[in-house]
Amino acid sequence: MGRGERLARVAIPLSYLLAVGALVAAVALTIEGQFLVGPLGYVSSISLGSVAAIYALGQYRFQDSGYPSAKSVVLALLFANAFLQSYELVYGLTFGLGYFMTGHIVVTGPELRSFLLWAVLISPVVLVRETLRPTSASWFLLLLAVSIWFVWILYGYPQYYLSSYAFARVLTTSDPYQTSLWLNFGSKVVIALFFISLLEPAKALRAALRR
């Protein structure tokens, strides 16, 4: 066993504790209505909790599938990051679709670089595709995420930090701020659950309870 592998086996239990702590903190902040975590660069509490859960379940899944401890940690981090980048890619492309439909689409160099970077950061999913186990629940969650996104577009794709709309509004609301929060963070939760469903979470939870 190499030195890196020994260090990984010591670090994994600690990483689990950190992940659980981050998940608990994220749930508490969300319940209190504090959706943005300032000390972490104003990342959303939903993103924080989702990444923590996906990392912990992913590390167990990849190690259980035969990957060495050190590699399972790296792959779990990459897989959790792929969740974030998948959301950002779809989020950005939806804005692009809105601009295209209004005839004002202009793709700048920085925007193109961002889209390419998002695609590259999602690509590690290919490395672990044989260990992922989509189920009927996975497809339901994916369909639910698409449905929420469609409703979001019907509302004009409102954003809690913008007063303008990316699409013509088919549906209207008296409180676009709260509507944008629910649709934004709600869709992110569903996409996170989709990623989690690929990792056989029930098996990981049963193993954790046995321990």
153, 179 in Cβ contact below 8 A?
no
Cα Rg, the chain, nearest whole Å: 19
Instruction: Say whether 37 sits in a helix, a strand or coil.
Output: strand
Closest CA to 77 of 96, 55, 62: 55
- Which of 130, 29, 153, 142 minimizes the C-alpha distance to 87? 142
Distance CA 45, CA 29 (A): 7
Give the pLDDT of residue 135: 94
pTM of the model: 0.90
Q: Residues of 146-168 as b/e, b for ≥16 C-beta within 10 angstroms? A: eebbeebbebbbbbbeeeeebbe
CA distances from 186 to 85, 155, 190 (A): 17, 15, 6
Residue 107's pLDDT is what?
Answer: 67
Rounded to a whole number of angstroms, the distance between the first and last alpha carbons of the chain is: 23
DSSP string for 131-178 = G----HHHHHHHHHHHHHHHHHHHTT---TT-SS-SS--SS--S-HHH
Residue 106, helix vs strand vs coil = coil
Which residues in the chain belong to E strands, given as ranges? 36-37, 43-44
Q: What is the pLDDT along the chain (211 residues), one digit of tens a residue?
A: 566 667 777 788 889 999 999 999 999 999 998 888 888 888 899 999 999 999 999 999 999 999 998 899 999 999 999 999 999 999 988 988 887 777 666 667 777 888 888 888 999 899 899 999 999 999 999 999 999 999 999 999 988 888 888 898 999 988 988 899 899 999 999 999 999 999 999 887 776 656 5
How many C-beta atoms lie closer than 10 Å to residue 182's C-beta? Answer: 15
d(CA 30, CA 33): 5
Q: How many domains does the chain have?
A: 1
Q: Domain range for residue 130?
A: 3-210
